[in-house]
Amino acid sequence: MNFIKKYFIQRQNKAKLRDTVTDKPFPKKVASIGILAENLDDVEIIKEQVKNIFGKQIEIYSLFYSKSEVENGISEKDFSLFGKPNDKINGFLSKNLDFILTPSLNLDPYLLYLLLHASAKFKIGFFSPENKDLLDLMLSKDDKNIEANSQKLLEYFIKIKAAC
C-alpha cells in the first residue's frame, strides 16, 4: 500500500516541478516561515535561530518526517492511497508563508510534496543535485553541523533581503 501512495506522490511532485515558476520577488517583510526537516532535532535548532534573528513574534510552522504519530510529524499515513493529503498537510499548505527553509539535502517524497505545493514566496536550503530545481536560494553545506550551516544560510538570506 505504501508503494502505491509513494508512486502517486512522486507523480504529483514531477507534475508540480514542471509548473514551478523561477522568477519570484524576494520577500520584503518576514512575518511567517515554514521549516521542512528530516527530524525534530533539526526543526528545534532552526526554530531557535529564526527566533533569534527575526524575533519571538514571527510565526513558525514546521513539519518533519516521522514514522510515529507526533504533533508536527508527517508520514505516508497523512496521504490517502492515491496521494491526497489529509487536513494536517492541507493546513500547512494553506499558510501564506514568506519563505520555507529546508536543511535536508535529499527530501523524502512526502516532504518534497510539501515543498513543491506550498505557496511560500521563497524557498531556501542547501545545494544538492536533487535540490537545485526546488530552491530559490542555496548554499553548499560545509560540514555536518546543522547549527552552523543553517545560521550561515539565514545570514545570507538577511543580507540579500537588505540589498533588495
Q: What is the DSSP track for 9-67? A: HHHHHHHHHHT-----PPPSS--EEEEEESSHHHHHHHHHHHHHHH-TTSEEEEEEE-S
Task: Please state, in angstroms and rounded to a whole number, the distance separating the CA atoms of residues 70 and 148.
Answer: 27
Determine the distance from the C-alpha atom of residue 9 to the mean position of all C-alpha atoms in its chain, rounded to a whole number. Answer: 16
Task: Please state, in angstroms and rounded to a whole number, the distance separating the CA atoms of residues 123 and 110.
Answer: 16
Q: What is the pLDDT of residue 23?
A: 60
Q: What is the pLDDT of residue 79?
A: 93
Domains of the chain by start residue, with CATH: 2-163 (3.40.50.2300)
Return the C-alpha torsion angle 50, 53, 54, 59, nearest 10.
Answer: 10
Q: What is the pLDDT of residue 14?
A: 78
Per-residue pLDDT of the chain in tens (164 residues, 90 and over written 9): 788 888 888 888 877 765 655 566 667 788 999 999 999 999 999 999 999 999 999 999 999 999 888 889 999 999 999 999 999 999 999 999 999 999 988 888 999 999 999 988 889 999 988 888 888 888 988 778 889 999 999 998 888 877 77
Q: What is the pLDDT of residue 141?
A: 84
Q: What is the pLDDT of residue 45?
A: 95
Buried b (16+ CB within 10 A) or exposed e, 43-60: bebbbebbeeebeeeeeb
